Chain A
Amino acid sequence: MRIGLFATCLGDTLFPDAVKATAILLTRLGHDVVFPPGQTCCGQMHINTGYQREPVPLVRNFADGFGDASIEAVVMPSGSCAGSVRHQHRIVADRYGDATLRAGVDTVAAKTYELSELLVDVLGVTRVGAYFPHRVTYHPTCHSLRMLRVGDKPLRLLRAVEGIDLVELPGADSCCGFGGTFALKNAETSTAMLHDKTDNITATGAEVCTAGDSSCLMHIGGGLSRIRSGTRALHLARILAATRTTPDILTKASV
């Protein structure tokens, strides 16, 4: 399948390893990964912070970049960006765009998936040939869980990883407290939520906490690092892309 890869602004700029892992994984599964070079940001940060005029060109840019009919599916290693594309672009297009933009947005939204959705629902695989001999706990990020309803797809993928010791995270479905600019505007409340999350993570004794969103992992990983917990935050894509010959965890970079 010809799959358009959206790196997301955060992934492209700060956490490229999660995006590389996505590209490698899909290529290994026999798919043709294309990267429309004009892509930048989905505009979620703007929309969630209260700005809907400013991201209009970003929404248009996304719809144009991935609108090409030869791209059969669009994937991104981020539940919240997929949620924004599927649910929020339409709102922006209706308010400040035109009928052409709305049509473009609808076309792209209909073929946009977060990584676990693409693998399980579209490509029909749960066993992706990964090998990851580590103790791992999974945090279901809010937008994957509630905006996209990914359900247990990420867990099904993880359970099929060879060598993995998957442990349940207590209070898994509680928000980690990131929430984009919420972490800045309400830093203390965000921190209180983060502390409960990192307490729950360290209680599992996991070496790695994984999730489908680099942004939440940036938050959780930042908290785990500050308390010197020894537990790493690692994107789901990196676990799924790890094999016996390329065990990603041994590289230094986080998320």
Chain B
Amino acid sequence: MSTFLGMPAPPPRSPYGTGNLRGDRAFPRAAHDELGNEQLRRNLGRATGTIRAKRLSVTGELSDWEALRDAGSAIKTDTMNRLPELLEQLERKVTERGGTVHWARDATEANAIVARLVRATGSDEVIKVKSMATQEIGLNEHLESVGITPYETDLAELIVQLADDKPSHILVPAIHRNRDEIRQIFRDHIPGVDPDLDNAPAHLAAAARGYLREKFLTTKVAVSGANFAVAETGTLAVVESEGNGRMCLTLPDTLITVMGIEKVLPRYQDLEVFLQLLPRSSTGERMNPYTSLWTGVTPGDGPQDFHLVLLDNGRTAALADALGRAALNCIRCSACLNVCPVYERTGGHAYGSTYPGPIGAVLTPQLAGMHAAKDDPNSSLPYASSLCGACFDACPVKIDIPSLLVELRHQHTEQTGVTPEKLAMKAAAAVMRRPALYAAAQKASALGRVVAGRDGTISRLPPPLSGWSDSRDTAAPPRETFRSWFSSDEGRATLRAAAAERNSDHNEEDAT
């Protein structure tokens, strides 16, 4: 009898074609359309500018903000380092308190588990509290395909759902819509809504409330995500602004929570750190209006049937990447989106994923892969950044997003075959490693002067440089490089004169 020693199996990525972790076009192509939408850019510029200012004012008033960020980063790193044991502890505690834990390897499994649990209740509809995890796996689409109607209860998620749109932001899903657009969506899609509804925020909220109140009171099953889960106690936590989440978490008979496995925290006390970091980083508030914590089931109070679906969907694959795993520390606050100059111009749809912006550009390729198909759109995401670093400064758990983007770019070039770019990079390095050859190439570059106009500028360049010259002039290359000037008579004379200037300054000082 032989013993199977086993080969390490690569951890699974999110399955291709299921869920919302991949767009249908590469980022530059999708961004092209979004950049042409003037209304979108105005909406985004105004919204992100406002949140940016609020965040800076509330983080600035905490004297220990940097220490909190360090603590958040340390707790998350510790969590990732011992994720299996913490998850088993969480499962034990949830089960002890009357909940049921389900393990889902990927989006397909998670969707099937939730659909089965809903069917078992006999209900054909569910109310939902805003959840990134269920967006990620495409749960709504799956439930609809099996005859179950999901109702989003978060105001912004409701707007997106009614418009048959996709969220454009982690925290503010309808950030790309203004009040007039929202009024139109409500008038078109909410049954029995006042046809004279105006665009006052209070009136829009009231229209949504009237519609949702009926759903809260009649629907027997709710689906939620989780911001945190505490391994030590089996406690789940949802933080929100509107109270609709609390309605979902308390009114129905059955509660199904779908949670990415990275959301676990070791101790109850760790919430102290994250309940300060999260609201200040995301909405720029000192505290979010509603924080709901629940542990298993409490007889006679709240849902009597509680299920926790622990979702992998590529997280183990991300965890296995020694450098990239830091992206799992993300607490989905969206601070990086709000400070990102690329996100501010393109909006979230250009990223093609539930997770847009800087963190999405590193998280999405790790969860779903970036080489699943030829010209996988996800392989364009690590390049959707100017590496300006604003995201790193804003991140409450100090994820070094720019370095992760550079690492993913490296992984991408290592996995792709020969491309014109790769050949050019190799050729450039081959020249640059030989100073004599390099100097000769510099001389050749001065030939670029012949294409310059009379004013010494070049206004048109051939592909792939035409993307540059479409909007920017280029100065003609100089006649002489620095190195040849430095060793020339003129260069030496100029530097001698500069040194003499120094000496004459000194003499004047001495004289005074």
Q: Which residues of A contact B (CB under 8 A)?
A: 7, 9, 11-17, 19-20, 23-25, 27-30, 33, 35, 37-41, 43, 45-52, 54-55, 57-58, 61, 87-88, 91, 129, 142-143, 145-147, 173-175, 177-195, 218-219, 221-223, 225-226, 243, 252-255
CB-defined contacts of B41 to chain A, threshold 8 Å: 192
Question: Closest Cβ of chain A: how far from B493's Cβ, in Å?
Answer: 11
Which residue on chain B has the smallest CB distance to residue A18? Answer: B482
CB-defined contacts of B425 to chain A, threshold 8 Å: 46, 49, 51, 54
- Known: A13-B481, A189-B35, A221-B475. Contact between A182 and B385, CB under 8 A? yes
B371-401 vs A, Cβ < 8 Å mask (1 yes, 0 no): 0000000000011111111101100000000
Question: Closest Cβ of chain B: how far from A219's Cβ, in Å?
Answer: 6
Q: B450 contacts the other chain (Cβ, under 8 Å)?
A: no
B409 x A50 contact (CB < 8 A): yes
A48 x B387 contact (CB < 8 A): yes
8 Å CB contact of B389 from A57, A146, A221, A222: A146
10 intermolecular pairs with C-beta atoms under 8 Å apart: A14-B445, A46-B425, A87-B403, A175-B341, A175-B388, A179-B386, A185-B467, A186-B31, A218-B475, A225-B472
Main secondary structure of the interface of B (DSSP, over half): helix
- Known: A14-B478, A49-B409, A222-B474. Contact between A189 and B467, CB under 8 A? no
Which residue on chain B has the smallest CB distance to residue A30? Answer: B502
C-alpha spacing A186/B502, complex, angstroms: 47
Q: B433 contacts the other chain (Cβ, under 8 Å)?
A: yes
B475-491 vs A, Cβ < 8 Å mask (1 yes, 0 no): 10110111101100001
CB-defined contacts of B478 to chain A, threshold 8 Å: 14-17, 253
C-alpha spacing A186/B381, complex, angstroms: 11
C-alpha spacing A165/B439, complex, angstroms: 39
Best-buried of B393, B403, B435, B477 by chain A (most CB within 10 Å): B435
Main secondary structure of the interface of A (DSSP, over half): helix
Which residue on chain A has the smallest CB distance to residue B466? Answer: A187
- Known: A46-B429, A189-B31, A218-B474. Contact between A7 and B494, CB under 8 A? no
A14 x B477 contact (CB < 8 A): yes
> How many inter-chain contacts with C-beta < 8 Å in the A-B complex?
210
CB-defined contacts of B28 to chain A, threshold 8 Å: 185-189
B475 x A20 contact (CB < 8 A): no
CB-defined contacts of A9 to chain B, threshold 8 Å: 432
C-alpha spacing A72/B386, complex, angstroms: 33
CB-defined contacts of B505 to chain A, threshold 8 Å: 129
Question: Closest Cβ of chain B: how far from A109's Cβ, in Å?
Answer: 16
Question: Closest Cβ of chain A: how far from B506's Cβ, in Å?
Answer: 8
B428 x A191 contact (CB < 8 A): no
- List the one stretch of B98-106, B186-194, B457-465 in contact with chain A: B457-465
B385 x A38 contact (CB < 8 A): no
Question: Closest Cβ of chain A: how far from B312's Cβ, in Å?
Answer: 27
8 Å CB contact of A58 from B432, B457, B467, B480: B432
Given contacts A142-B388, A180-B387, 19 further A-B contacts (CB under 8 A): A13-B477, A14-B475, A23-B486, A23-B495, A28-B498, A50-B406, A50-B409, A57-B429, A58-B433, A174-B341, A179-B388, A191-B472, A192-B345, A222-B475, A226-B471, A226-B472, A226-B473, A243-B501, A253-B475
C-alpha spacing A145/B390, complex, angstroms: 10
C-alpha spacing A190/B457, complex, angstroms: 20
Q: B413 contacts the other chain (Cβ, under 8 Å)?
A: yes
- Known: A38-B435, A142-B389. Contact between A188 and B406, CB under 8 A? no
8 Å CB contact of B442 from A13, A20, A54, A142: A13
Question: Closest Cβ of chain B: how far from A30's Cβ, in Å?
Answer: 5
Q: Which 6 A-B pairs have the closest CB atoms?
A: A179-B386, A187-B467, A50-B409, A222-B472, A146-B389, A175-B388
Which residue on chain A has the smallest CB distance to residue B41? Answer: A192
8 Å CB contact of A50 from B32, B386, B412, B472: B412
B471 x A186 contact (CB < 8 A): no
8 Å CB contact of A46 from B32, B428, B467, B498: B428
Q: B211 contacts the other chain (Cβ, under 8 Å)?
A: no
Best-buried of B41, B435, B482 by chain A (most CB within 10 Å): B482
Question: Closest Cβ of chain A: how far from B8's Cβ, in Å?
Answer: 21
Best-buried of B388, B403, B426, B438 by chain A (most CB within 10 Å): B388
Which residue on chain A has the smallest CB distance to residue B446? Answer: A13
Q: B67 contacts the other chain (Cβ, under 8 Å)?
A: no
CB-defined contacts of B422 to chain A, threshold 8 Å: 51
B457 x A225 contact (CB < 8 A): yes
C-alpha spacing A48/B494, complex, angstroms: 36
A194 x B472 contact (CB < 8 A): yes
CB-defined contacts of B468 to chain A, threshold 8 Å: 183-184, 187, 222
Which residue on chain B has the smallest CB distance to residue A220? Answer: B472
Best-buried of A37, A40, A189 by chain B (most CB within 10 Å): A189
A16 x B384 contact (CB < 8 A): no
CB-defined contacts of B31 to chain A, threshold 8 Å: 186, 188-189
B397-421 vs A, Cβ < 8 Å mask (1 yes, 0 no): 0000001001001101100000001
A50 x B413 contact (CB < 8 A): yes
C-alpha spacing A43/B433, complex, angstroms: 10
Best-buried of A30, A41, A185 by chain B (most CB within 10 Å): A185
CB-defined contacts of B355 to chain A, threshold 8 Å: none
Q: B27 contacts the other chain (Cβ, under 8 Å)?
A: yes
C-alpha spacing A20/B386, complex, angstroms: 28
8 Å CB contact of B429 from A15, A54, A91: A54
Which residue on chain A has the smallest CB distance to residue B393? Answer: A146
Which residue on chain A has the smallest CB distance to residue B478? Answer: A16
- Known: A28-B501, A57-B429, A192-B35. Contact between A146 and B392, CB under 8 A? yes
C-alpha spacing A193/B342, complex, angstroms: 8
Which residue on chain B has the smallest CB distance to residue A55? Answer: B429
CB-defined contacts of B413 to chain A, threshold 8 Å: 49-51
Q: B321 contacts the other chain (Cβ, under 8 Å)?
A: no
CB-defined contacts of A179 to chain B, threshold 8 Å: 385-388
B94-128 vs A, Cβ < 8 Å mask (1 yes, 0 no): 00000000000000000000000000000000000
B459 x A226 contact (CB < 8 A): yes
Question: Closest Cβ of chain A: how far from B336's Cβ, in Å?
Answer: 13
B388 x A184 contact (CB < 8 A): no
B344-385 vs A, Cβ < 8 Å mask (1 yes, 0 no): 011000000000000000000000000000000000001111
8 Å CB contact of A223 from B409, B471, B494, B499: B471
C-alpha spacing A186/B341, complex, angstroms: 13
B410 x A182 contact (CB < 8 A): no
CB-defined contacts of B457 to chain A, threshold 8 Å: 225
